Amino acid sequence: MKGKLLCVLCVAFLLTGCYAKGHLYPVQGPLAAEVPLPILPATATGIFNSGSLTVTLPGGERCKGAWKMVNRKSNSGPQASAQPYVDLASAWDTVYGAGFYTAHILGTRLHVHAALTGDKGSVLHVEIYRPDTTNEPVEIKGVAKDDKGNIYKVVL
């Protein structure tokens, strides 16, 4: 009982606008071939609310950007985005298996996109979603794609 309560409180804390630490794991592209595999640290604020994401790339470049909700009806991209929307449907399928995007992401209520810009010019697009079900534990999944040909699994 205490474990469930703690889990619910942690999820509520994350969803109310505080912050979460996470990592990006390369699964395809030049970084995925490196040994040891580089693991990129990430910090998110305001998950599924207004907020931001910061990711540190190899070499120390910091990429920052704001979350935007993806249009639920058409999944046409984030609302009021300053950067062009990059469709990450194929990245979802690369990371989680063929058909994952269509079966789980398309039309979901809690689906956000962030276009991050690095202080050295890199661009990283990130999407995260939370299933609409209320089953415990809540599993948040995500993917990212950069302008260098890398695809990442996002874990928060």
What residue segments make up the domains of the chain, in order of their start? Answer: 2-155
pLDDT for 97 equals 97
pLDDT for 56 equals 97
pLDDT for 77 equals 52
Which of these, 96, 91, 87, lies nearest to 139 by C-alpha position? 96
Has residue 110 got a pLDDT over 80? yes
Question: Residue 61's CB: how many other CB atoms inside 10 A?
Answer: 14
Classified as helix, coil or strand, 116 is strand
Model confidence pLDDT, tens digit, residues 27-57: 999 999 999 999 999 998 875 557 899 999 9
Model confidence pLDDT, tens digit, residues 73-95: 554 454 444 455 688 999 999 99
Two tokens, residue 35: 């040994």
DSSP one-letter string for 73-104: TT---BTT-SSPP---HHHHHHHH-TTHIIII
pLDDT for 80 equals 44
Mean residue pLDDT across the chain:
82
Query: In the chain, which ranges are continuous DSSP H helix?
Result: 2-15, 89-96, 100
pLDDT for 85 equals 66
> Scanning the structure block, which residue is given the tokens 């929307």?
85
Which of these, 78, 28, 87, 30, lies nearest to 53 by C-alpha position? 78
pLDDT classification of 156: cutoffs 50, 70, 90: confident
Has residue 13 got a pLDDT over 50? no
